[in-house]
Amino acid sequence: MSDFEAVNNGAKIGHAPKPLWLLAEVTYRCPLHCAFCYNPTDYVTHTQNELTTEQWIKALREARKLGALQLGISGGEPLLRDDIEEIVAEAGRLGYYTNLITSGVGLTEKRIAEFKRGGLDHIQLSMHDITKEINNFITDTNTFELKKKVAAMIKEHDYPMVLNVVIHRYNIEHIGEILDMAEQIGADYVELANTQYYGWSLLNRAQLMPTKEQLLKAEAVTNKFRERVGNKMKVFFVVPDYYADRPKKCMNGWGEVFMIVTANGDVLPCHSARVLPGLTFPNVKDADLDWVWNESPAFMKYRGDDWMKEPCRTCPDKEKDLGGCRCQAFLLSGDAESADPVCSLSPNHHLIEKAIEDAKNPQLAAQPIVFRNDKNSRKLVDGESDELVADFHALP
Ligand code: SF4
Ligand code: SF4
């Protein structure tokens, strides 16, 4: 705790957080249609009102003044915008460490050279599987060959090779081969990110969730690979919280280090926060980020621990996880202030146990996947797919 105390409706917050991480979700448009996408299921309502280049530049300047150091440029597919070069160059001038998070679609020699000149530090490329069949199925596209070409281009331009692989039932048995492929293409970092269930992946949860046995095997294979390659490649294995006993410290705490500006300019403390009831999120078009971060009711709402109920309020572990994820608590239990159901001490933990059982039910697991695309998003917005969302209190 430091020398600063803010006041939230009379409740003290013991320190002055800074938004060290700024994530710019510059567009929700995307040529891929991933079954596990964490983007909001109503993204189609945010594709016609994207911020302009000038509005993005203003947001970058305001966030930098607040202390932001790391900038992630993501989407959707950020490369669908033709001003990413300008945004990167401005980020470079402002002194950000900038990471482009991309599927690779739209990355060309000309663009990557321009990014290099503009000071882009890092490119994170998503990969899906070692087989063409699974890559193309899970993304509902034909992008398998393109991924390898883009990986080679990134390497040629002397960027660290950073791969992100979302893990689910369709590729978890291939983890060893995926890691071998990463080694062959000279990866420096690989993130094996087990699916977290938000957005489209929540809709497809029973179809995507691996079994605990598959997970343990995948972790063992990863550890063996790590032993073999040593420091040559860093491998992160992000454990899925449904199989954990305690929840994650979501976003390292609400409004603690992380700020997201979405395609239409809404400012959020986490990807899914718009699902939470009773909160209005400010927009960069009409609010200064200093006010948003330091004073807006939405960013103050779950800072600190005054909002907590039992069992979190008196729990000896509350500093470790801050009660887990507010969005997951609301999506599954309907109560945003309750303990994350992932926690085995939560009165709603049975909801996680049921989800794990559902994923073992062959009938539920064989349901058709709802791919992330405009048509399905529109149907969800128009209430034509209500049977898909009946189990949840909202959808991100
Ligand atoms: S997860 Fe797939 S569909 Fe979603 S934004 Fe990324 S590439 Fe696009
Ligand atoms: S009861 Fe709450 S604070 Fe304690 S471990 Fe569970 S989620 Fe965390």
- Rounded to the nearest integer, the mean pLDDT of the chain is 93
Structure tokens at 16: 């002055």
Question: Ligand 1 within 6 A of 341 CB?
Answer: no
Say what the pTM is: 0.92
User: In a 3-state reduction of DSSP, which class is residue 238?
Assistant: strand
- Probe target for ligand 2 pocket from 249, 302, 307, 321, with the most ligand atoms within 8 Å of CB: 321
Strand 97-102, strand 189-194: pairing: unpaired
Read off the pLDDT band of 390 (50, 70, 90).
low
pLDDT in tens, 302-361: 998 999 999 999 999 999 999 999 999 999 999 999 999 999 999 999 999 999 999 899
Question: Ligand 1 within 6 A of 34 CB?
Answer: yes
Mean pLDDT to the nearest integer, 175-200: 96
Residues 6+ apart with CB under 8 A from 33: 139, 140, 141, 371, 372, 373
Which ligand places an atom closest to the C-alpha of 349? 2
CA 167, 351, 383 angle in degrees (round to 5)? 80
Read off the pLDDT band of 11 (50, 70, 90).
very low
CA dihedral 54, 57, 63, 67 (to 10 degrees): -150
Tell me the C-alpha distance between 75 and 327, whole Å. 20
Tell me the C-alpha distance between 104 and 123, whole Å. 9
Structure tokens at 118: 């503009």
Tell me the C-alpha distance between 286 and 264, whole Å. 12
The total number of residues shown for the chain amounts to 396
User: In a 3-state reduction of DSSP, which class is residue 236?
Assistant: strand
CA 107, 148, 25 angle in degrees (round to 5)? 40
Closest ligand 2 atom to Cα of 311: 1
Strand 97-102, strand 70-74: pairing: parallel
Question: Ligand 1 within 6 A of 308 CB?
Answer: no
Which ligand places an atom closest to the C-alpha of 138? 1
Spatial CA neighbour of 8 closest among 247, 214, 304: 304
Indicate the annotated binding residues for [4Fe-4S] cluster: 30, 34, 37
Question: Ligand 2 within 6 A of 220 CB?
Answer: no
Residues 6+ apart with CB under 8 A from 144: 132, 135, 136
Spell 77-94 as b/e; 16+ CB within 10 A means b: bbbbbeebbbbbbbbbeb
- Probe target for ligand 2 pocket from 241, 305, 343, 352, with the most ligand atoms within 8 Å of CB: 343
Q: Is the peptide bond before 76 cis (omega within 30 degrees of 0)?
A: yes
pLDDT in tens, 154-179: 999 999 999 999 999 999 999 999 99
Give distance in angstroms: CA of 346 to centre of ligand 2. 7
Question: Ligand 1 within 6 A of 39 CB?
Answer: yes
The reported pLDDT for the residue numbered 81 is 98
Closest ligand 2 atom to Cα of 323: 7
pLDDT in tens, 12-56: 444 679 999 999 999 999 999 999 999 999 999 998 899 999 999
Thinking of the domain 18-289+301-395, which architecture would CATH place it in?
Answer: Alpha-Beta Barrel (3.20)
Which ligand places an atom closest to the C-alpha of 316? 2
Spatial CA neighbour of 5 closest among 15, 254, 257, 256: 15
